[in-house]
Structure 1
Amino acid sequence: MPLDLILYITKYGYLAIFLLVFLQEIGAPNPIPNELVLLFSGYMIFLGILKLPLVILAAILADFIGTSILHTVFYFSGAYILQHKPRWLPIPTQTIHKLKQRISKNGLGGIYIGRLTPFIRGYTSVIAGLLQIEARIFLPIALITASIWVTMYVTAGILLGPFWSQVVANINNIKYYMLFIFSAGLLIIIIRSLIKYRTVKR
């Protein structure tokens, strides 16, 4: 666990959470992933240092505002940015084009899934802008997925509070664990929906 993160959140609390989440959502280089910020925030709630409603509010607002800005920028100027971006700007165009094709096939469901998937959730806002998905459609999705994502990680941090030393020891694998949990949950939802659909059809 980075000492800087501990000191920053401990000192500035909700403002630190807002800024860290916001900066990463708008694409600013950030060595500390938001998943780690939210897990640690949950741990701080477990210790009684921070309050759950305020952490959730700060993180959701930061995520929603940041992703809305990113979507707006690429909605109006995305094609120009990708064609004329300087070499130092960290935009993996090949990855974006692949995800763009995938989301184009899956429609709005692909945006929901992308916004909840670690590693690619930030790119999803970029792709939604490039696909010219209007704000009235994208922003409700952004708010819903931000609420789910923030609540999931903060709650995980609270539940992992008693085992925090083990969490720190395996911190590099946290994203993969959460991705596995999310994928398993999504698979269960899909299976239940299919069973329900077949039952109704009969």
Structure 2
Amino acid sequence: MIESIGSTAPGWITALMDTLGAPGAGVAIAAENLFPPLPSEVILPLAGFAAGRGSLHLASALAWTTLGSVAGALALYGVGALLGRDRTVAIASKLPLVKVADIEKTERWFRRHGTKAVFFGRMIPLFRSFVSIPAGIERMPVPVFLTLTTLGSLIWNTVFVLAGYLLGEKWEEVTGYVEVYSKVVLAAVALAVAVFVAARVSRTGPGTRRRE
């Protein structure tokens, strides 16, 4: 039973895999895409570990976790498509220090680099889920979105499932490496936000207004 080999994983994850097998891992990953705080760095290596112990088939674990990733991403794409550009602009323009011009620049950037953003975004913590929303807002062709999401997700999932498969009893060591990677990404995002805010405040300061 998977529950006996994943005693330190959240109970609902082991229960899903124990009850449904590889499809349970897919359901867990779909949920992780919709709710990013859920631990993909636990779900995927645990699925690989289970495959190494014979509780799951390795190919099935890879297929179902990738299917779950795509299903979750497609749901978020739908959220972006329903939200639409007008609502997005209306909401974002009300945020402090955000201008419509900033949104338009982001739109232009996504039109030029959206395919790369979706593909590589599937391999970056936090952005793995959220990159699907602008793709929906910009109405990226669904076949293109699905192809890029599937390929990016397959690479990400394969790395972590195989890590759990090869590490065996030490599968939990994967989480330590992911935490470092996630902290680096979050630090870079925080720095970028700080630079943006500082630049915007300096442009809108009292001296700027007098010159205008």
Aligned to 1:56: 62
Change (3 A) 1:11 1:100: farther
Between 1 and 2, higher relative CO (CA 8 Å, sep ≥ 6) is seen in 1
Change (3 A) 1:99 1:72: same
Aligned AA (2:179): Y
SS for the counterpart of 2:139 is coil
Question: Cα distance, 1:60 vs. partner?
Answer: 1.2
Aligned to 2:193: none
Q: Which runs of 5+ in 1 are unaligned?
A: 85-93, 181-202
Aligned to 1:34: 40
Aligned to 2:18: 10
Aligned to 1:175: 178
- TM superposition score normalised by structure 2: 0.64
Change (3 A) 1:153 1:102: farther
Aligned to 2:78: 72
Aligned to 2:158: 151
> Which moves more between the two structures, 98-107 or 135-144?
98-107
- TM superposition score normalised by structure 1: 0.66
Match of residue 117, structure 1, among 106, 115, 124: 124
Change (3 A) 1:104 1:51: same
Corresponding residue pairs, total: 164
Question: Cα distance, 1:75 vs. partner?
Answer: 2.1
- 1:104-129 CA-to-partner distances (Å, cap 9, x unmatched) read 56342222221221221101111111
RMSD: 3.1
1:39 and 1:101 map into 2 onto residues whose CA distance is: 37
The yes-or-no answer on 1:43 pairing with 2:46 is: no
Change (3 A) 1:162 1:131: same
Asked whether the equivalents of residues 103 and 111 of structure 1 are also in contact (C-alpha less than 8 Å), the reply is no
**Percent identity of paired positions between Structure 1 and Structure 2:** 21
Asked whether the equivalents of residues 102 and 110 of structure 1 are also in contact (C-alpha less than 8 Å), the reply is no
Q: Which runs of 5+ in 2 are unaligned?
A: 1-7, 92-97, 184-212
